[in-house]
A = this chain, B = another copy of it.
């Protein structure tokens, strides 16, 4: 490593030593002043804090973490974020964690197989906590996190592991609400448009929806497997309507993006939404409200999910050994827009 690689010493950061010398105190005392639980004379503490602020002293977090074994870093793992729901979660979560003095190290894996490698790299930075957004993690990777002492929180996607920490919408309840809503509107032939089969969100919404329909005494909804959470998948799914035993009069799609694609696919078939088929999505992303789409959908309780996650993060960062716990937030309201319509009694 050559001299050029070194940052020029002229703009050396101020260290505890500098601050201590400046104040004529020992390094120990100065350091203690920054820890509320440490014992220092109140007057001394005040002096130190004031002077620190004045000359711009900030403890080097790397030196700190070498000793405390805590990094104030939370690793955020994201994979597929074509759903606009995720960027919002990502940035808001980051902003909220910053307020708590936690910093976010972002790890992105476009291909799912790469998630494990990415997590490995992340662990090198000893995050106090890892949050998994919209991604699947191999159980090996989860294991690795736990061995490294970094608990994982799964956000909006559960792995089903007993020991896992998670925050998610109560998707079963969401599915139930949609079934009730559509049946109350007079629909009889329901369809569920499924997305990524392994996603718990997909599985749970389907479960709530289908089981509720049966409970209400109508035929079990038919299911079309779109395969993923994307516009294209939704669009393609619509083409399979013809293969169904009978044309449905209402469809619940795994999320908004799928719904928007599905609707366009339905229309390309010469059918009308909502006249022939009512369509409901899930998430209530911003574009669902655009006049072009005017999508009836279930609102994701994002504010509460975020608040719970942040609180949970704070707790787990302080107690990495806490037993697995999954928070299920009740879904937001069903927002009725232009893609659903009452059916006449027949």
Q: List chain A positions with a Cβ less than 8 A from chain B.
A: 1, 4-8, 11, 13, 35, 37, 58, 60-63, 65-66, 68-71, 76, 78, 81-82, 84, 86-87, 90-92, 94-95, 98, 103-110, 114, 118, 121-122, 124-126, 147-149, 231, 260-261, 264, 268, 286-287, 290-293, 318-321
Cα of A7 to Cα of B71 in the assembled complex, Å: 12
Shortest Cβ distance from residue A233 to the other chain B in the assembled complex, whole angstroms:
13
Choose one: B11, B70, B81, B87; the contact of A5 (CB below 8 Å): B70
Shortest Cβ distance from residue A232 to the other chain B in the assembled complex, whole angstroms:
9
**Across the interface, which residues of B come within 8 angstroms of A94, CB to CB?**
106-108
Cα of A179 to Cα of B307 in the assembled complex, Å: 47
Interchain CB contact under 8 A, B62 and A78: no
Interchain CB contact under 8 A, A5 and B149: no
Closest B residue to A109 by beta carbon equals B95
Shortest Cβ distance from residue A309 to the other chain B in the assembled complex, whole angstroms:
15
Choose one: B86, B95, B286; the contact of A87 (CB below 8 Å): B86
Cα of A287 to Cα of B94 in the assembled complex, Å: 26
Most buried by B among A11, A65, A149: A149
| 21 A-B residue pairings within 8 Å (CB atoms) | A4-B319, A7-B69, A8-B149, A58-B124, A61-B124, A61-B125, A62-B62, A62-B66, A76-B106, A78-B91, A82-B286, A90-B108, A91-B108, A91-B110, A95-B108, A95-B110, A103-B105, A103-B122, A104-B105, A105-B106, A287-B287
**Across the interface, which residues of B come within 8 angstroms of A78, CB to CB?**
91
Cα of A268 to Cα of B291 in the assembled complex, Å: 9
**Across the interface, which residues of B come within 8 angstroms of A118, CB to CB?**
98
Closest B residue to A69 by beta carbon equals B7
Number of copies: 2
**Across the interface, which residues of B come within 8 angstroms of A291, CB to CB?**
264, 268
Interchain CB contact under 8 A, A81 and B87: yes
Shortest Cβ distance from residue A317 to the other chain B in the assembled complex, whole angstroms:
9
**Across the interface, which residues of B come within 8 angstroms of A92, CB to CB?**
108, 110
Shortest Cβ distance from residue A242 to the other chain B in the assembled complex, whole angstroms:
19
Interchain CB contact under 8 A, B320 and A292: no
**Across the interface, which residues of B come within 8 angstroms of A68, CB to CB?**
1, 5
Cα of A90 to Cα of B86 in the assembled complex, Å: 12
Choose one: B6, B90, B231; the contact of A290 (CB below 8 Å): B231
Cα of A68 to Cα of B124 in the assembled complex, Å: 17
> A264 and B286 in contact (CB under 8 A), knowing A7-B149, A94-B106?
no
**Across the interface, which residues of B come within 8 angstroms of A318, CB to CB?**
5
Given A7-B320, A84-B84, A287-B287, 8 further pairs, Cβ under 8 A: A7-B149, A8-B321, A60-B126, A61-B125, A95-B110, A264-B291, A268-B291, A292-B293
Cα of A94 to Cα of B35 in the assembled complex, Å: 34
Interchain CB contact under 8 A, B106 and A104: yes
> A105 and B105 in contact (CB under 8 A), knowing A91-B81, A318-B5?
yes
Closest B residue to A231 by beta carbon equals B290
